[in-house]
Amino acid sequence: MTGAEPGIMMWLTFAIIIGAIVLYAWEYFTLEFTSIAVITALLVLFYLFPVKDASGANQLDAVRLLAGFADPALITVLAMLVIGQGLVQTSALQRIAGDILQLARGSGKLAIGITLLVAMVLSGLTNNTPIVVVFIPVLQGLTEQGRHSSSKVMIPLSYAAILGGMTTLIGSSTNLLVSGSLRDLGEMPFDMFSFLVPGLVVAGVGLLYVGLIAPRLLPNRPALTGIPAGAAGRQYLAQITVGHTSQLVGHAAQAGMFPGLTDVTVQMVQRGEHAELAPYEGVVLRPGDTLVVAGTRKALMDLLASDKGLIGDSDRDDPESESPVTPTRPGDEQVLVEMMIAPASRMVGQNLEQIGFRRRFDCIVLGLQRRSRMIRQRMTVIRLEAGDVLLIRGRREGIRALRTNPDLLVLEWSAAELPNLHLARRALIITGLVIAAISFNLLPVVIAALAGAAAMLALSCLNVRQASRAVERKVVMLVAAALAMGHAMQATGGATFLADLVVAAAGTDNPAILLSAFFLIVALVTNVLSNNAAAVLFTPIAVNLAHGMGSTPCRSPSPS
């Protein structure tokens, strides 16, 4: 070392770390800016005052301090986020959610408990973020059926996913980052099930708490949605054709209703030139039947998603042909949006067949809503009026083109991406192979995760734009800065100093007391830093503390 004593460099490093924590907690500057500033400060400091090893090489040169951006653990985390996004984009876990909703008809509270348990288990097999995304609407549906407040179950869902994620290596990004930091420090990294047993004990106790006690402590708040009041319950008229593979084939009306269509109202069954109206006595659904139904946007989309044999097309009568809602090009992205027929629109007075809507705009009309009026006609023959709202589904390019059409007014709040349901099995197979490769040590974690992310892209489970959206730049910058600070603490002796300080403050060398004190410190810091940053920052300290107790970082210390 030149230019300064080691002690001075340690204290300068601590000053930068404390400044970083203050700036992160203050939030006056963006997280990205603070991370760049911290890395830059460390680069300048150790360029001017290098910390040299026995061979005279600088231990904290730019290559070392910037290594966090290419850290295998960070790359693994980002790859797992892409894999998780592929599961969300294809609704690969939707069938599990649907089975739970079916169970809810018997006991809502039991179904909520099963949902939390399933979310916890699945969070151990993949990143917990997509699990929470998938099960939020499931719990909303369950609470609505049981007339409970959704605010009492959303935090338990989050905690159940976190607890489950802590049982395996890939279940949490924090586990992956700590494992990578251990490898960088020359220690043995975690394997897939290193902490499965203690993780299950903690997760089991935690699940009982969040399922039984937490709902009693949480406030009862009304549900909030991003949809304006009244929009969620708006009824659309839709035209659905029963395909040969539909689950509805052979279903007979019972008490004026068809099994499997309980969430929508059947207005008419069109069979050739003959129209059947309620109460549908003796009507048995056949392939080629066209159903005119009324339902909410969610009910219509759930119906089409649950039965791939149904063709929700407003502009085609051949039920055997491929539905245009299925993407035919790799990377196709489906969007659902509501559009209103503008005053003086050229579409007024014409029906969808006359307009040739699907062929003209490469989009389909799934539903039509007209000022709450009851209509018993096929949607394709209804003459449009100004103010009619169309529920439209199409590729992003087609929807973008419709936005410039003066005949239609886009209801911007209604736009939503749609999952590629037909690719769900593909996404599940990819995820299963990644989990198997990691569990049986067939491939290193980073290689398995990157291969899985590449497979998701190559097999069109999601496109590049959706994958890049899953890669959170804040995570990249924060982890890279935390790794740089951790390297600086280790090289300047700061990690050893803090470990000795913990032992001195505890006043004992009892492992249980020392670990409890260390856990408390990390828990406090996590309130101002993210859990990823706190874990990476404190890993060198934990390693030195373990060595000071005569143990290895990945094993429980023996009692002294």
**CA–CA dist 223, 225 (Å, integer):** 7
Count of structural domains within the chain: 2
Residues, the chain = 560
Domain assignment present for 29 = yes
Instruction: Please check whether residue 364 lies inside any domain of the structure.
Output: yes
409 with 480, same domain: the answer is no
Helix (H, G, I), strand (E, B) or coil at 269: strand
pLDDT in tens, 82-111: 998 888 888 777 667 666 766 656 566 777
The three-state secondary structure class of 128 is: helix
Whether 533 and 411 map to the same domain: the answer is no
The residue out of 376, 395, 419 marking a domain boundary is 419
pLDDT at position 455, please?
95
Asked whether residue 130 is domain-assigned, the answer is no
**Structure confidence by residue, pLDDT tens digits, 312-340:** 554 444 444 434 444 444 445 677 888 88
Tokens of 110: 């039991």
Per-residue pLDDT tens over the stretch 67-79: 999 999 999 999 9
Q: What is the pLDDT of residue 265?
A: 83
The stretch 458-478 carries a mean pLDDT of 87
**Using only C-alpha atoms, what is the Rg of the chain?**
29
Residues 371 and 232 placed together within one structural domain of the fold? yes
Note whether 380 and 500 are same-domain residues.
no
First-last CA distance in the chain: 37
Query: Is 197 inside a domain boundary?
Result: no
Q: Are residues 481 and 382 in the same domain?
A: no
Closest among 203, 188, 295, 224 to 553, alpha carbons compared? 188
* SS3 assignment, position 434: helix
Does residue 44 surpass a pLDDT of 50?
A: yes
Of 419, 452, 484, which marks where a domain is finished? Answer: 419
Q: Do 540 and 415 fall within a single domain?
A: no
Supply the pLDDT for residue 430. 94
Q: Are residues 371 and 516 in the same domain?
A: no
Residue 304 lies in a domain: yes
Report the CATH number at residue 237: 3.30.70.1450
Neighbouring-strand partners of residue 341: 408
| Domain limit, last residue, from 402, 419, 436 | 419
Distance CA 43, CA 521 (A): 27
Q: Tell me which of 354 and 300 has the higher pLDDT.
A: 354
Q: Same domain for 408 and 275?
A: yes
- Please, what's the b/e burial string for 359-391 (b: 16 or more CB within 10 A of its CB; e: otherwise)? eebebbbbbbbbeeeeeebbbbebebeeebbbb
Structural domain includes residue 299: yes
**What is the pTM assigned to this prediction?**
0.72
For 267, the 3-state DSSP assignment is: strand
**What's the average model confidence in pLDDT over 24-51?**
93
The reply to whether 256 and 388 lie within a common domain is yes
- Whether 542 is covered by a domain: the verdict is yes
Least-confidence region, from 151-160, 238-247, 252-261, 489-498: 252-261
Specify the amino acid at residue 283. Answer: V
Which pLDDT band holds residue 65 (cuts at 50, 70, 90)? very high
Question: What is the tens place of the pLDDT at every residue in 176-230?
Answer: 999 998 888 888 888 888 889 999 999 999 999 988 888 888 877 655 444 444 4
Write down the pLDDT at residue 224: 44
In a domain, 313, yes or no: yes
Task: Say whether both 261 and 349 belong to one domain.
Answer: yes
Does position 375 have pLDDT exceeding 60, yes or no? yes
User: Parallel, antiparallel, or unpaired for β 334-341 and 235-242?
Assistant: unpaired
Instruction: Please give the sequence-ordered ranges of beta strands (E in DSSP) within 304-442, or none if there are none.
Output: 310-311, 334-341, 363-369, 389-395, 408-418
Question: Distance between CA atoms of 555 and 560, rounded to whole angstroms?
Answer: 15
- pLDDT, one tens digit per residue, over 264-296 is 888 888 887 677 777 787 788 888 888 888 888
Angle between helices 128-145 and 151-165 (to 10 degrees): 150
**Domain carrying residue 379:** 228-419
411 with 518, same domain: the answer is no
- What integer is the mean pLDDT of 344-360? 86
Rounded percentage of the chain residues whose pLDDT exceeds 70: 84
SS3 2: coil
Pair 412, 480 in one domain: no
Lowest mean pLDDT among 64-73, 486-495, 509-518: 509-518
